[in-house]
Amino acid sequence: MKYVSKIEVMGDGENIYKCFLTEGIKKERSNFSVKKTKSRVIFEIKASDAVAFRATVSMITQLLTVYEKMKKL
C-alpha cells in the first residue's frame, strides 16, 4: 500500500521554508518535499507503509512545533 499526503501551512512561509529546506529526506520507506508559494508552504509526503508515513508526519509536525515556540520568544 502507498500513502501520499499534503500538509499546507499558511503564514510566515519564507521562514518556515528556510527551516525545512535542509530537512528534506529521502529514505527507503518514506520521503517528503517542501514547496513554497506566496502565502503558504506545502509539504508533500510519500510513504510505502503506515509506520513510515506516521513517522514522517510526526517529524514535520514536531519541527513546526519547535518553530512556533521559538517564534514566540
Domain ranges within the chain, ordered by starting residue: 3-72
Query: What's the CA gap between 15 and 71, in Å, rounded?
Result: 10
Q: How confident is the model at residue 26 (pLDDT cuts 50, 70, 90)?
A: low
Q: Which amino acid is at 12?
A: D
Q: Is the pTM of this model over 0.75?
A: yes
Q: How confident is the model at residue 25 (pLDDT cuts 50, 70, 90)?
A: low
The fold adopted by the segment(s) 3-72 is TATA-Binding Protein (3.30.310)
Q: Phi first, then psi: what are they for 12, rounded to 5°?
A: 55, 35
Query: What's the CA gap between 61 and 42, in Å, rounded?
Result: 13
| Cα atoms found within 13 Å of the Cα of residue 43, Cβ hemisphere only | 28
